[in-house]
Chains A and B, each alone.
Chain A
């Protein structure tokens, strides 16, 4: 329908400017919807924490010291005596400025603990996405080009095997093989990039790999399917009879048009990867957000739980926005996705 819109407006503006505007307005629309989604999701997270039936003051004070009087005093100090919506509003306005409150127990600001741990997960997640695209993209492409061949069948087999394995199982296997048996890589721990690029990579490669494999399998399968469909399209024959080199046709015409569904999968799998990251952190004993969240949840350290969830859900929403924007840029025509 976007095309119909464009054609009807054809009279006035030049096509290129029209298309730039259409893209800009779609991205703008995406950004505009980002705010309400963030507010809504943050409200849900906040309420879940606040309504979790825990008694923060009692938790903080401990069983013995928790007399009704002390609890009431602490509630007042924490603002917990106000109505939920007011609490939420206070929290949100603070959060918007980067203040997520302080831990009930350690008194460390939540944003500070998150800032400490976020780089760990960010490193792993970014490397995992890169690995998933590299591994899945290559496997899917080669399988599609040599469809029916041994590589294609092998990829199909490996993909279905891998997708049944949760990230932590893959993680354990990787640790056993690379760290224990071959002693090539450290089995656990984390060194930030400031400690040197190579040690940093050494520490994040195994968890990233464990996280990426399932997504890589999904990407490979989807890309294979859509690439096979695209390669059968007439415009590939059209590009061939124009005398374009094979590799150019494959990359600029076939892969470009076939990548959309795989990209969508990547976007959809991203929350799954975050969930896997929590497990991977445990396997590789990494000081990441997942560990922070688990500990906080066990001790009912509500501000930490709320802060971490807010950060994580923001990431998920932003990643989805980015994926949708890239899709819009790739597919200018509404019938662009051939598969």
Chain B
């Protein structure tokens, strides 16, 4: 889209399409995004919007039945779209690391967490046993784990969620990767721990120039952490831009709704609940704007044909025919005001869609 990628681009995704269920449905359509060295890019959207699938594709670990049908993924400007297994083995750990929601399930339940970190150091950096142990303890200290010697010998079931996420981060950065992909990494944690993890990620960025792709459905977290935001809706990027612009002047009705939810929603569970209606089913073929069914500002032009991303400012784009319409914000605000006292419902349907996509 932008022609030549910038020289410091770490992750570049270009016009990515992913089909699920062995090609039966297209879950990701034409997603493009890039992350540069030292940059933290946020990926927001409801559950089921394709954030996780995009991350999995970028990591080269798509679930069975999911295939990249079109588009390219590049890492440090090297095309990795069809990288064979050996290539990914080289890239994982040393090039990119990842942390996920529910860290306990991503660690082997029968091996000590220290052993699992040391294993990576021994295999990827050929460190001898003793040195790997020392380095592992250093890394545990660096991610803020107290009593790292003790944590080293514990198995995942003996640690709390926050501690496990620190362990995961320590493992992910152990071989000094350039990119960290964090998929809902703070979602299951309570607020204080969440803030600490965010602090840790910011430190890592500042100290190591780590690039971070941070996925969350929580705009409040994104606002604190990210430089740029990419908003996903039903497998498409609907808006992308610098974080302040998106927060202050959201140009897509969906982003506007998302922000309203973030400001009124309760802190504990900011699942997107106030936008009425449900996102289209995964793979549903829709002629025009995929948000039209739920959009308070929809007009006839919205449904006639595919809607392209429109450039609004340098680096700020939105996929909406009325993005430049000065009345748009007022219309969506009025619609939201009209139904403020509403029972939250929509979130669950999105969650189901995400489960189905897996």
Chain A residues with CB under 8 Å of chain B are: 3, 6-7, 10, 14-16, 19, 233-235, 237-246, 248, 252-253, 256-257, 330-336, 338
Residues of chain A lying within 8 A (CB to CB) of residue B124? 242-243
Q: Mark B272-306, 1 if CB is under 8 A from A, else 0.
A: 00000000000000000000000000000000000
Q: Does B198 contact A (CB under 8 A)?
A: no
Chain B residue with minimal CB distance to A253? B108
B98 and A241 contact, CB distance less than 8 A: yes
How far does the alpha carbon of A16 sit from the alpha carbon of B133 in the complex, in Å?
14
Question: Can you identify 28 A-B contacts, CB atoms within 8 angstroms?
Answer: A10-B158, A14-B153, A15-B150, A15-B153, A235-B107, A235-B108, A238-B100, A238-B105, A238-B106, A238-B108, A240-B88, A241-B92, A242-B93, A242-B97, A242-B120, A243-B88, A243-B123, A244-B119, A244-B120, A253-B108, A257-B108, A330-B110, A332-B109, A332-B155, A333-B155, A334-B157, A335-B157, A338-B109
How far does the alpha carbon of A227 sit from the alpha carbon of B261 in the complex, in Å?
43
Give the distance to chain A from B211, nearest Cβ to Cβ, in Å.
16
Give the distance to chain A from B179, nearest Cβ to Cβ, in Å.
11
Q: A10-B158, A242-B92, A333-B156 are in contact. Are A256 and B150 (CB under 8 A)?
A: no
How far does the alpha carbon of A235 sit from the alpha carbon of B107 in the complex, in Å?
5
How far does the alpha carbon of A3 sit from the alpha carbon of B110 in the complex, in Å?
12
Q: A241-B61, A243-B92, A244-B120 are in contact. Are A234 and B109 (CB under 8 A)?
A: no
A15 and B171 contact, CB distance less than 8 A: no
Q: Does B176 contact A (CB under 8 A)?
A: no
A336 and B105 contact, CB distance less than 8 A: no
B89 and A246 contact, CB distance less than 8 A: yes
How far does the alpha carbon of A237 sit from the alpha carbon of B158 in the complex, in Å?
21
Residues of chain A lying within 8 A (CB to CB) of residue B346? none
B85 and A336 contact, CB distance less than 8 A: no
Interface residues in B56-97 by Cβ distance below 8 A to A read 59, 61, 85, 88-94, 96-97
Contact pick for A234, options B91, B93, B100, CB 8 Å = B100
Contact pick for A16, options B109, B123, B153, B175, CB 8 Å = B153
A235 and B150 contact, CB distance less than 8 A: no
Q: Does B102 contact A (CB under 8 A)?
A: yes
Chain A residue with minimal CB distance to B98? A241
Q: Mark B94-132, 1 if CB is under 8 A from A, else 0.
A: 101110101001111111100000011001100000000
Query: 3 closest Cβ contacts across the A-B interface?
Result: A243-B93, A243-B92, A238-B106
Q: Does B154 contact A (CB under 8 A)?
A: yes
How far does the alpha carbon of A333 sit from the alpha carbon of B110 in the complex, in Å?
6
A257 and B153 contact, CB distance less than 8 A: no
Chain A residue with minimal CB distance to B96? A241
How far does the alpha carbon of A15 sit from the alpha carbon of B158 in the complex, in Å?
9
Residues of chain B lying within 8 A (CB to CB) of residue A332? 109-111, 155
A243 and B61 contact, CB distance less than 8 A: no
A240 and B61 contact, CB distance less than 8 A: yes
Chain B residues with CB under 8 Å of chain A are: 59, 61, 85, 88-94, 96-98, 100, 102, 105-112, 119-120, 123-124, 149-150, 153-158, 168, 171-172, 175
How far does the alpha carbon of A334 sit from the alpha carbon of B100 in the complex, in Å?
23
Contacts A242-B93, A252-B119, A333-B155 supplied; 9 other A-B pairs, CB < 8 Å: A237-B61, A241-B61, A241-B92, A241-B98, A243-B90, A243-B120, A243-B124, A244-B123, A332-B110
How far does the alpha carbon of A243 sit from the alpha carbon of B87 in the complex, in Å?
10
Residues of chain A lying within 8 A (CB to CB) of residue B61? 237, 240-241
B105 and A241 contact, CB distance less than 8 A: no
How far does the alpha carbon of A239 sit from the alpha carbon of B59 in the complex, in Å?
12
Chain B residue with minimal CB distance to A147? B64
Residues of chain B lying within 8 A (CB to CB) of residue A16? 112, 153
B109 and A336 contact, CB distance less than 8 A: yes
Q: A16-B153, A235-B107 are in contact. Are A243 and B85 (CB under 8 A)?
A: no
B157 and A243 contact, CB distance less than 8 A: no
Residues of chain B lying within 8 A (CB to CB) of residue A10? 158
Q: A3-B157, A241-B61, A244-B120 are in contact. Are A335 and B109 (CB under 8 A)?
A: yes
Contact pick for A237, options B88, B91, B106, CB 8 Å = B106
Give the distance to chain A from B26, nearest Cβ to Cβ, in Å.
23
How far does the alpha carbon of A129 sit from the alpha carbon of B89 in the complex, in Å?
36
Contact pick for A257, options B88, B90, B110, CB 8 Å = B110
How far does the alpha carbon of A333 sit from the alpha carbon of B106 in the complex, in Å?
15
Residues of chain B lying within 8 A (CB to CB) of residue A239? 108
B110 and A256 contact, CB distance less than 8 A: yes
Residues of chain A lying within 8 A (CB to CB) of residue B154? 15
How far does the alpha carbon of A253 sit from the alpha carbon of B123 in the complex, in Å?
14
Give the distance to chain B from A320, nearest Cβ to Cβ, in Å.
21
Chain A residue with minimal CB distance to B56? A237
Give the distance to chain B from A291, nearest Cβ to Cβ, in Å.
44
Contact pick for A241, options B59, B102, B108, B156, CB 8 Å = B59
Q: A234-B105, A245-B123 are in contact. Are A6 and B85 (CB under 8 A)?
A: no
Residues of chain B lying within 8 A (CB to CB) of residue A7? 158
Residues of chain A lying within 8 A (CB to CB) of residue B89? 243-246
B110 and A331 contact, CB distance less than 8 A: yes
Contact pick for A246, options B85, B111, B155, CB 8 Å = B85
Residues of chain A lying within 8 A (CB to CB) of residue B119? 244, 252
How far does the alpha carbon of A242 sit from the alpha carbon of B102 in the complex, in Å?
16
Give the distance to chain B from A168, nearest Cβ to Cβ, in Å.
40
How far does the alpha carbon of A23 sit from the alpha carbon of B350 in the complex, in Å?
45
Residues of chain A lying within 8 A (CB to CB) of residue B109? 235, 257, 332-333, 335-336, 338
How far does the alpha carbon of A335 sit from the alpha carbon of B105 in the complex, in Å?
11
How far does the alpha carbon of A275 sit from the alpha carbon of B163 in the complex, in Å?
52
Residues of chain B lying within 8 A (CB to CB) of residue A333? 109-110, 155-157
Give the distance to chain A from B313, nearest Cβ to Cβ, in Å.
35
How far does the alpha carbon of A199 sit from the alpha carbon of B158 in the complex, in Å?
53
Chain B residue with minimal CB distance to A6? B158
Contact pick for A233, options B90, B98, B105, B123, CB 8 Å = B105
Give the distance to chain A from B115, nearest Cβ to Cβ, in Å.
10
How far does the alpha carbon of A26 sit from the alpha carbon of B154 in the complex, in Å?
19
A242 and B171 contact, CB distance less than 8 A: yes
Chain B residue with minimal CB distance to A338? B109
Residues of chain A lying within 8 A (CB to CB) of residue B153? 14-16, 19
Chain A residue with minimal CB distance to B181? A241
Give the distance to chain B from A56, nearest Cβ to Cβ, in Å.
54
